[in-house]
């Protein structure tokens, strides 16, 4: 490594892989209910798929393009690829070992069985054969591979069988290869009809393999092996060159399924010559090959988790109550006029947000609705409310982000339905993703026209609202309404950004404001005033922000970072980050809220919003971060939303200076604290241990002297 590269940053890709390790750790934790462990196992596998589709694909493109830019920790693209590959291989080995040695045996002990065709009794064997004849065989297409039939275009992440047959031609026995794709239209796991054991399955790939000879009459079947190809799934759209963004995204979605291959997975007994043939066909190297001892697409095992069976193998059920301010008042607008309302999802029901829109759609006093939609989800109530509002004569505008990764097709579908219903659909600004979470309702109240604004850290998605932790605010304060109006005008019209009085908006002012707020804490610390920063987010990558946090730490600011995923900041390093602690919580719900606390000399300022501290959020997205001005709400955020995660010693993991994570220490005779469990208790009105934000003492580690030290 170049000696001029500072050692104070953690590699982004390796940090992400450490996050996925924490997800996998939940699957390995025997204290977690079995089906929840299976869920985390599937999530870890799905996460790895996306990592290859996007991040590894990007690294490989950098290598092919001879990009000279280094990573934040000073690695070339080739060095980064090798480091990632080493870490991924360890993770894949652990992932499948967990399936073979822990999850599968434990599932079988609990009446979940996975049968080979030869193990079935006569009745089940007959059912399986009928299924093959009636359901599978009609949709199977054997594709020969020879000079007249080149290897077919294998779809991204599709499961395939590479088949070797022998056929006598002109007196000679010749070997041939063919590919059979396992149909995506059929369930990957087939549940057998007999009642014992209660959950009995056959893998579709095994069923097809058992009857493969039927597809190749006149040949001798020598063998078949499962394999899967992962492809580059990034969308490449030059927005300034396309006349119709909707059509451009639709076209690119088709290309995604056929992008350059970046990974080949084969089952463990696949012969070397077959592996080499597949690698050559896909233009991949040995480094891109992963030999799998287990199911090649573990995410399909989520079918075992789905449904309402086996409650004893799951987390206790939890139904979020309606937030107290809305519980006894049918008219949400009257409640919001009295005071701001803060919601904490999934501990408080997202139905209040849906009700807000549905009431607006039918309220004769409502004149207009404006809303951003990033991930619309499958729940039709929100988009249905927008359509109903149009039918009721209201002016409705929806800013739909077509490029929300892996939700593009869904968003295109809903955008079309909204347009057909008469909603004014806008696709945002050239060069920026619209990631802001914002809704504004214009209502003619008895005393004046008033703007009711909803702002949040999460999407308008009723499905994810039950499994993601997020925070949102209802307000009708004039300053918030004016800022929201100006921002919607920017998104839908032709104008330049106007400075806002309350909202912080990326890419225009958010980054600079955060740097100023961090520097203010450093200045206060040097002056002997109380100085504290607490920030909760999904990822911390931006180098300028990290350097500012290092300077604040060196000035004596106490800094707690609650970061679920990527963190490129290296905490606990003497002379660099002595006063910085980083924790990550992976638990039942996906930590997704973004909250920032600045002590401000005993006059705390708290901000919530849609933005992580990453360059993409600061410079390539429209993001909205908003202050919490109500003192009671600020106290709730401090004493609950921030204090409980900081006190967590069950699910919290502490980032070490070397980039790994260790469990939070549980001191002798201390109370076990699991923040998400305590949030559930609070939501149900049960008592929890009182928490407050304390000034902790952090261990420090010596590291090479940082060049940043001269900048303080």
User: Is there a catalytic annotation at residue 435?
Assistant: yes
Q: Where are the domains of the chain?
A: 1-110, 140-296, 324-498, 506-711
Distance CA 203, CA 402 (A): 35
Comparing 375-389, 613-627, 670-684, the range with the smallest average pLDDT is 375-389
Farthest CA pair distance, the chain: 96
Q: Tell me, which fold does domain 324-498 have in CATH? A: Endonuclease; Chain A (3.30.870)
Q: Is 499 exposed, middle or buried (0-12, 13-18, 19+ CB in 10 A)?
A: exposed
Confidence at 510, pLDDT banded by 50, 70, 90: very high
Q: What is the DSSP string of 38-95?
A: HHHHHHHHHHHHHIIIIIIHHHHHHHHTT--PPPTTS--HHHHHHHHHHHHHHHHHHH
Q: Phi, psi at residue 160, to the nearest 5°?
A: -130, 160
Q: From residue 190, how far is each of 96, 162, 300, 503 by CA, in Å?
A: 21, 21, 11, 52
Q: Is 496 exposed, middle or buried (0-12, 13-18, 19+ CB in 10 A)?
A: exposed
Exposure string for 655-692, b = 16+ CB within 10 A, e = fewer: bbbebebeebeeeeeeeebbbbbbbbebbeeeebeebe
pLDDT of 69 reads 86
Q: Phi, psi at residue 271, to the nearest 5°?
A: -65, 155
- Residues 558-587 have pLDDT tens digits of 999 999 999 999 999 999 999 999 999 999
Percent of the chain exceeding pLDDT 70 equals 89
**199, 435, 454, 579: the active-site residue:** 435
pLDDT of 198 reads 84
What is the mean predicted confidence (pLDDT) over 504-515?
96
Given 3.50.30.10, 3.20.20.80, 3.40.50.1010, 3.30.870.10, which CATH number is that of 506-711?
Answer: 3.30.870.10
Helices (H) and strands (E) in the chain, counts: 21, 27
pLDDT of 379 reads 67
What is the mean predicted confidence (pLDDT) over 227-233?
92
Confidence at 409, pLDDT banded by 50, 70, 90: low
Query: Are 576 and 703 within 8 A, CB to CB?
Result: yes
Q: Phi, psi at residue 456, to the nearest 5°?
A: -160, 180
Distance CA 285, CA 287 (A): 5
- Residues 299-315 have pLDDT tens digits of 999 999 998 899 999 99
Q: Collapsing DSSP states into helix, strand and coil, what is residue 326? A: helix
Mean per-residue pLDDT of the chain:
89
Confidence at 154, pLDDT banded by 50, 70, 90: confident
Beta bridge partners of 179: 143, 162
pLDDT of 711 reads 37
Confidence at 478, pLDDT banded by 50, 70, 90: very high
pLDDT of 400 reads 85
- Residues 640-689 have pLDDT tens digits of 999 999 999 999 999 999 999 999 988 877 899 999 999 999 999 988 87
pLDDT of residue 616 exceeding 50, the answer is yes
Query: Are 540 and 546 within 8 A, CB to CB?
Result: yes
Query: Are 18 and 659 within 8 A, CB to CB?
Result: yes
Confidence at 487, pLDDT banded by 50, 70, 90: very high
Beta bridge partners of 569: 9
Distance CA 46, CA 52 (A): 10
pLDDT of residue 183 exceeding 50, the answer is yes
pLDDT of 285 reads 94
Q: Select from 407, 366, 410 the least CA-distant residue to 386.
A: 366
Chain length of the chain: 712
Radius of gyration of the chain (CA): 28
Could you check whether 324-498 and 506-711 share the same CATH topology?
A: yes
Comparing 254-263, 375-384, 539-548, 615-624, the range with the smallest average pLDDT is 254-263
Q: What is the DSSP string of 460-486?
A: S-TTGGGTEEEEEEEE--HHHHHHHHH
Query: Are 464 and 333 within 8 A, CB to CB?
Result: no
Q: Tell me, which fold does domain 1-110 have in CATH? A: Methane Monooxygenase Hydroxylase; Chain G, domain 1 (1.20.58)
Query: Are 459 and 436 within 8 A, CB to CB?
Result: no
Q: Select from 192, 218, 217, 195 the least CA-distant residue to 206.
A: 192
Exposure string for 281-310, b = 16+ CB within 10 A, e = fewer: bbebeeebbbbbebbbbbbbbbebbeeeeb
- Residues 23-40 have pLDDT tens digits of 999 999 999 999 999 999
Distance CA 248, CA 253 (A): 9
Q: Select from 397, 336, 345 the least CA-distant residue to 372.
A: 397
Q: Collapsing DSSP states into helix, strand and coil, what is residue 660? A: coil
pLDDT of residue 258 exceeding 80, the answer is no
Q: Tell me, which fold does domain 140-296 have in CATH? A: polyphosphate kinase like (3.30.1840)
Q: From residue 85, how far is each of 82, 285, 288 by CA, in Å?
A: 5, 12, 8
């Amino acid at each position: 490594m170049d000696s001029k590269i500072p050692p104070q940053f953690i590699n982004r890709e390796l940090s992400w892989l450490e996050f996925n390790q924490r997800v996998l750790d939940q699957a390995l934790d025997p204290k977690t209910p079995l089906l929840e462990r299976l869920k985390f196992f599937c999530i870890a596998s799905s996460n790895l798929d996306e990592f290859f589709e996007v991040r590894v694909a990007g690294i490989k493109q950098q290598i092919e393009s001879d990009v000279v830019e280094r990573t934040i920790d000073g690695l070339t693209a080739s060095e980064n690829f090798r480091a990632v590959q080493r870490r991924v291989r360890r993770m894949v080995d652990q992932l499948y070992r967990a399936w073979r040695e822990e999850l599968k045996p434990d599932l079988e002990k609990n009446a979940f069985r996975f049968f080979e065709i030869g193990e079935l009794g006569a009745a089940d064997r007959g059912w399986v054969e009928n299924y093959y004849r009636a359901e599978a065989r009609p949709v199977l297409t054997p594709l020969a591979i020879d000079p007249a039939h080149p290897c077919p275009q294998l779809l991204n992440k599709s499961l395939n069988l590479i088949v070797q047959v022998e056929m006598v031609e002109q007196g000679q026995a010749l070997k041939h290869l063919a590919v059979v794709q396992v149909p995506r239209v059929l369930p990957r796991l087939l549940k057998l009809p007999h009642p014992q054991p209660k959950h009995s399955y056959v893998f579709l790939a095994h069923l097809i393999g058992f009857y493969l000879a039927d597809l190749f009459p006149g040949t001798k079947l020598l063998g078949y092996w499962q394999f899967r190809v992962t492809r580059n799934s990034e969308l490449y759209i030059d927005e300034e060159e396309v006349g119709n963004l909707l059509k451009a995204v639709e076209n690119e979605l088709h290309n995604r399924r056929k992008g350059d291959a970046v990974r080949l997975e084969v089952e463990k007994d696949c012969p070397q010559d077959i592996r080499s043939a597949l690698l050559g066909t896909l233009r991949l190297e040995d480094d891109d090959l992963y030999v799998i001892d287990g199911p090649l697409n573990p995410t399909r095992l989520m079918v075992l988790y789905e449904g309402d069976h086996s409650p004893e193998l799951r987390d206790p059920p939890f139904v979020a109550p309606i937030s107290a301010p809305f519980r006894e008042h049918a008219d949400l607008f009257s409640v919001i006029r009295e005071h701001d309302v803060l919601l904490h999802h999934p501990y408080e029901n997202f139905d209040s947000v849906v009700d807000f829109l549905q009431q607006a759609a039918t309220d004769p006093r409502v004149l207009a609705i404006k809303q951003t939609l990033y991930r619309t989800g499958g729940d039709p109530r929100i988009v249905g409310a927008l359509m109903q509002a149009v039918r009721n004569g209201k002016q409705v505008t929806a800013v739909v982000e077509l490029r929300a990764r892996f939700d593009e097709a869904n968003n295109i579908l809903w955008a079309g339905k909204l347009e057909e219903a008469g909603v004014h659909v806008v696709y945002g600004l050239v060069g920026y993703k619209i990631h802001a979470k914002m809704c504004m309702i214009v209502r003619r109240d008895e005393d004046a026209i008033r703007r009711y604004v909803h702002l949040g850290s999460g999407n308008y998605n009723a499905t994810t609202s039950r499994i993601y932790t997020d925070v949102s605010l209802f307000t009708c304060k004039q300053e918030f309404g004016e800022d929201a109006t100006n921002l919607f005008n920017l998104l839908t019209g032709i104008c330049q950004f106007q400075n806002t009085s309350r909202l912080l908006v990326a890419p225009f002012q958010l980054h600079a404001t955060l740097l100023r707020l961090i520097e203010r804490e450093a200045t206060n610390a040097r002056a002997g005033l109380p100085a504290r920063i607490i920030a909760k987010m999904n990822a911390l990558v931006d180098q300028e922000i990290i350097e500012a946090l290092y300077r604040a730490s060196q000035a004596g600011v106490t800094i707690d970072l609650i970061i679920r995923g990527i963190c490129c900041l290296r905490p606990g390093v003497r002379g660099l980050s002595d006063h910085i602690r980083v924790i990550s919580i992976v638990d039942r719900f996906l930590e997704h809220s973004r909250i920032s606390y600045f002590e401000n000399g005993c006059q705390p300022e708290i901000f919530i919003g849609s933005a992580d501290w990453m360059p993409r959020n600061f410079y390539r997205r429209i993001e909205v971060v908003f202050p919490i001005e109500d003192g009671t709400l600020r106290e709730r955020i401090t004493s609950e939303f921030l204090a409980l995660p900081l006190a967590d010693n069950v699910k919290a993991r502490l980032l070490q200076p070397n980039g790994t994570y260790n469990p939070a220490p549980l001191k002798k005779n201390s109370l076990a604290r699991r923040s998400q469990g305590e949030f559930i208790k609070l939501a149900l009105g049960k008592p929890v241990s009182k928490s407050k934000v304390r000034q902790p003492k952090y261990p420090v580690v010596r590291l090479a002297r940082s060049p940043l030290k001269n900048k303080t």
